[in-house]
Structure 1
């Protein structure tokens, strides 16, 4: 009985503490939510764009609580939010200029292009744009170079060495472990399977990579050449010769305007703002500006739905960072039946994934297109399954440096019999009702008939894929097959090949949708709908995944943690036909 009361009172105390904490958390949230006061912007404010932050197409707020419950840590605004804020700031009398913090840039090339274009348009208002980084990486410089002035630290520097694409190969590891991957693919350029079957890039993969990487580099050089008034051939030569090694070199060849420290940078801002040296400069972060500025329009007679399809494409249900078939099929069906929605703009940013899930989403887009326009806007990636769900859109936009195409299929299983037996001392035996009852088991090698089944399935899906694309793009299947074969293209080449209708941003896609439905009086509704603060706080699975990923990156470093995540993600591919981009590549 004594033990019972100890447990009882301990449980009661735990419940009391939990309820008390929950009460204060909800009270703090309620106070924050009920406050309708917006931050007040002062005159002579400068909008700060921190390129070190990742601006995704879709952001579900994630909150971290500490003892100061008034402080909620929220993720950065979405990319489209940032673009709208920059556009709004052009006519905001409180905002006198933009300060680009330009040390690193984790954003993709297409996202960087949208940021760069918006900042370039901002300059047309006559307001200043200043960029500074103690050291400036190449991708950060791509955005920063559009500024009126670009500065770096005298002891810092500017990265300028050209571009390289690097892939990781696992075959050597599997050989050492005694694991034999069984790989089936359709498309001679379908390099997604190469890490499992070879130890370096095949010739077709090197060919396609040199083409799309050259396109990215060409767009990069042309943009910088125009902004800095330097011939692109000269820029190319500087990289090839390794001419930019120090901050002084960057100044000598005109890539930056001056070498200064941060105190000197502040003096420059004072001169531009015509303020005194001891005055505080009103730097406004994007987070704060999002609260203060009315950059979103909530009025309008006609409604255009913007659907963000971001991440890998997977079957069933899943996390917010993936395109799950159930969620997107239901969402598109709901929007199709909603008479108040006059058009849909689908923002696709995906390397692909499950072939079945891709086809299910393709089907809903096809049905929806018969009732209302479905305009596709491609982000950094809209390849393989990402292109599958895009190909039958009413009209397709992409950025010049969007990665798209990769129309191909693969499937992976494996034979780990030697690994289990020789490395772990494990053996297996089986009783089955037929010769193929354990098809796909990794405890034994596949038979020739089983291999034929797998390859036949992959070939059938590839045939369907090319037929879907041919139907959507109104091209012969033979032509689509000739430019498919798993080959990766840039958005710029996609227009030339007929895979894309026009170069343009998400904003361009929305304006086009409005033009199609013949309206200028419209409002935007964004989907999937963001979760409430309460759901985010108590959705432990996603929070745990995010915390685990951060811890792993911190302890092991980005390279090692990325390798571990790549191996972990293989689990989602085993025995599931995939329409996805080459397994992993990195552009440096």
Structure 2
């Protein structure tokens, strides 16, 4: 009897395993087939409307995965893809309008501002832009900010509409660590270096609160001024709407004149059809379809501007875009490729990074500096170029930032967690050792640092901070003391960083490319753009 039950279990297990293998292979085959079809330029019908369905994260460079289209899922998008498509659509006779659908957009305010500017430039072609949302959650502030670039803004009736101000929140873990008997040793150089506060405090320090308030004021002013201009209101009136906090539904937003109407998606489609005077059915094309179909292929120009995307937390080793890691090894390899390519006349380094490893930041700094000795390097800051991201930026010849970029954070920190007491009191695990010196188990994580070890830790952080100050002082033609005065780990907006001398001018990626071309002696429209790394794919 046991033999038969064992045999049946074995057969069932084998069938399940085979079924899983077949299912996985089918998914891979589906993705491969979709990818094959996506390489063929899909036709874009005449009198089409370009639909920008923006939801979720917008990255510097996105994942290229055609299976999203097969299952009608929002395609991961990139800033370059959106701006490039809008630029082409403005002069494409097949495209009659843009239908913007922002809902749950996740992006920094610099990225949002660049997308909005691209929409306004599209409108200069004389073609209309309509924005609308559907579903229970119509718009948040970031969605509405993009929608204000449209000729008309609609939303579904009875939906939520969030227009009650911006906030930044921080979670603190000090109490949790105490309950778990985890003993942290947290060291920092810089009174504004707030990244360590969640492990040492239960609330914001005065310095951290001060810098976060300044950041929010910068972003809030952008939202307020943009809304006021788009809706023909005064800034004071818009601010009063926000402060009142009474706008929570689309009906409230319509009454406050933030919307032009309450329409279902089908009614928006009907109105859009009349607006662009289309006789037949309304033809729409998605961003991913249009981007692939409107690809111009190889440029006839041999000269190029290299655009290096440095996005993610800085670490040693290889980059992992899906995990948000910017690897020094990958970065150095790409930078060397630009440096050794004679067709690349200048490089634009696009940074969107909160920092990370000081060792990796310095290695990347060296790669950029070596390139700058052979050809111009212009730095363009995205949403963030802070700490190690700013360290990297100082290797460029010229630094540009959005007024709303987060940068600076010239400071360092280190953290050591002792788990020994937790393991003993919570799990009954004890620890003992033998060593050849008193410092051998310093980083074992099983005991707190002794005073002498703490002093060594502090000294190493001080050395890193001094190196950081020297890099900034050399780049910005300042004294080390002057850099230290505006350093101390403080985060600055791009606008404030310009006033403090940490950047050269305000501008976006297009501005940086134009400056790089001018420095390389290239005429406008006489060069191509070559980007590294290339867009990711799951295949």
More deviation, 319-328/127-136: 319-328
Cα distance in 1 for residues equivalent to 2:156 and 2:429: 59
Cα distance in 2 for residues equivalent to 1:31 and 1:154: 37
Q: Specify whether residues 441 and 32 from structure 1 end up closer, same or farther in structure 2 by C-alpha distance, changes over 3 A only.
A: closer
Q: Specify whether residues 74 and 33 from structure 1 end up closer, same or farther in structure 2 by C-alpha distance, changes over 3 A only.
A: farther
Cα deviation, 1:104-150, whole Å, max 9, x if unaligned, reads 21122111111000001111111111111231111100111111111
Q: Does 1:337 align with 2:340?
A: yes
Classify the secondary structure of the residue corresponding to 2:246: coil
**1:133 alignment counterpart:** 133
**1:434 alignment counterpart:** 437
Tell me how far 1:246 sits from its aligned partner: 2.9
**Which structure 2 segments of 5+ residues have no match?**
1-9
Cα distance in 2 for residues equivalent to 1:206 and 1:20: 52
Cα distance in 2 for residues equivalent to 1:133 and 1:440: 53
**1:319 alignment counterpart:** 320
**Which structure 1 segments of 5+ residues have no match?**
1-6, 538-588
Q: Report if the CA contact (8 A) 1:62-1:74 is conserved.
A: no
**1:89 alignment counterpart:** 89
Q: Specify whether residues 194 and 24 from structure 1 end up closer, same or farther in structure 2 by C-alpha distance, changes over 3 A only.
A: closer
Question: What are the equivalent positions in structure 2 for 1:67-86 lying under 5 Å apart?
Answer: 75-86=75-86
**1:367 alignment counterpart:** 370
**2:513 alignment counterpart:** 510
**2:391 alignment counterpart:** 388
Cα distance in 1 for residues equivalent to 2:373 and 2:203: 45
Cα deviation, 1:419-470, whole Å, max 9, x if unaligned, reads 0110011110010101111112211111101001111111111111011011
Cα distance in 2 for residues equivalent to 1:229 and 1:217: 18
RMSD of aligned alpha carbons: 2.9
Of 164, 183, 206 in structure 2, the residue corresponding to residue 161 of structure 1 is 164
Q: Report if the CA contact (8 A) 1:377-1:509 is conserved.
A: yes
Classify the secondary structure of the residue corresponding to 1:386: helix
Q: Specify whether residues 281 and 215 from structure 1 end up closer, same or farther in structure 2 by C-alpha distance, changes over 3 A only.
A: same
Q: Report if the CA contact (8 A) 2:386-2:410 is conserved.
A: yes
Classify the secondary structure of the residue corresponding to 1:166: coil
**Normalised TM-score (structure 1):** 0.83
Tell me how far 1:255 sits from its aligned partner: 1.0
Tell me how far 1:471 sits from its aligned partner: 0.8
Q: Specify whether residues 275 and 73 from structure 1 end up closer, same or farther in structure 2 by C-alpha distance, changes over 3 A only.
A: closer
Of 271, 276, 287 in structure 2, the residue corresponding to residue 273 of structure 1 is 276
Question: What are the equivalent positions in structure 2 for 1:463-542 lying under 5 Å apart?
Answer: 463-520=466-523, 521-530=526-535, 536-537=538-539
Cα deviation, 1:186-234, whole Å, max 9, x if unaligned, reads 0000000000000110011001111111111112211121111111111
Q: Report if the CA contact (8 A) 1:392-1:471 is conserved.
A: no
Of 55, 59, 83 in structure 2, the residue corresponding to residue 52 of structure 1 is 55
**1:108 alignment counterpart:** 108
Q: Specify whether residues 98 and 296 from structure 1 end up closer, same or farther in structure 2 by C-alpha distance, changes over 3 A only.
A: farther
**Normalised TM-score (structure 2):** 0.90
**1:571 alignment counterpart:** none
Tell me how far 1:21 sits from its aligned partner: 8.9
**1:542 alignment counterpart:** none
Tell me how far 1:78 sits from its aligned partner: 2.2
Q: Specify whether residues 374 and 198 from structure 1 end up closer, same or farther in structure 2 by C-alpha distance, changes over 3 A only.
A: same
Cα distance in 2 for residues equivalent to 1:466 and 1:412: 21
Tell me how far 1:376 sits from its aligned partner: 0.9
**2:233 alignment counterpart:** 230
Q: Report if the CA contact (8 A) 2:97-2:129 is conserved.
A: yes
Q: Report if the CA contact (8 A) 1:84-1:296 is conserved.
A: no
Cα distance in 1 for residues equivalent to 2:454 and 2:381: 36
**2:285 alignment counterpart:** 284
Classify the secondary structure of the residue corresponding to 2:176: helix
Cα distance in 2 for residues equivalent to 1:198 and 1:404: 24
Q: Report if the CA contact (8 A) 1:76-1:287 is conserved.
A: no
Classify the secondary structure of the residue corresponding to 1:427: coil
